[in-house]
Structure 1
Amino acid sequence: MSVIRVTGHIDVPSDRLSAVQEAMAEHISLTHEEEGCLFFSITPCPDVAGRFLVSEAFKSQEDFDQHQIRTHKSHWGKVTSGIARNFTIQEDGKGGDN
């Protein structure tokens, strides 16, 4: 099994910050309920205003893909549409025993 890990950040423009923050708790909660979610957090960056640090882990590529599909259709997806993300996606354990 390959674990999919995502790390990075999202920089939210000041005019959208309130709406994003209001949608964040529900997005985090729904993600924690997803099958295959091992870890998920979004936290404010202490050094950059409007930046949120993102860390995610899913049991498999399929679980991560399902998360992306759900997110895209969700209120969070609408609220954050067009906001650039700076993420690194890493697959752990590919091709070998863990």
Structure 2
Amino acid sequence: MGKVILNGYILVPEAELDSVKRELIEHTRLTCAEPGCLKFVVEQDGEEPTRFNVQEEFIDRDAFEHHQERVKNSRWGSLTTNVSRHYTVVG
């Protein structure tokens, strides 16, 4: 089994921008502490403030799926239900 790499972006509704930015700090901390997380970067786009560019890398499919399950049941998961996700996943 090889690495799983996710690249893309999310679009956050303007009305939810402040709460998403606040929660992103904790979401990043929790994700980086997950077993198998090699890279997790979510950065607000410099030109489009409602866009956040996302880069994730996990050691294998199991670690990636564990992350996906954790997120579904997290504060981040419930807070970002209106976020539009645009990802490519390889691996």
TM-score (norm 2): 0.96
Measure the CA separation in 1 of the matches of 2:26 and 2:61. 23
Q: Which consecutive unaligned segments of at least 5 residues does structure 2 have?
A: none
Count of aligned positions: 91
Q: 1:25 is aligned with what amino acid?
A: I
2:24 alignment partner, SS class: helix
Match of 2:70 in 1: 70
Q: C-alpha displacement at 1:49, in angstroms?
A: 2.0
Residues 15-30 of structure 1 correspond to what in structure 2 (within 5 A)?
15-30=15-30
Once the two structures are aligned, what percentage of the paired residues are identical?
34
Q: C-alpha displacement at 1:83, in angstroms?
A: 1.5
Match of 2:13 in 1: 13
Q: 1:41 is aligned with what amino acid?
A: V
The answer to whether the Cα contact below 8 Å between 2:38 and 2:57 also exists between their aligned partners in 1 is yes
Q: C-alpha displacement at 1:14, in angstroms?
A: 0.5
Measure the CA separation in 2 of the matches of 1:34 and 1:14. 29
TM-score (norm 1): 0.90
RMSD of aligned Cα (Å)? 0.7
Higher Rg: 1
Residue 83 (1) aligns with residue 67 (2): no
The answer to whether the Cα contact below 8 Å between 2:13 and 2:82 also exists between their aligned partners in 1 is no
Show structure 1 runs of 4+ deviating over 2 A. none
Q: C-alpha displacement at 1:65, in angstroms?
A: 0.2
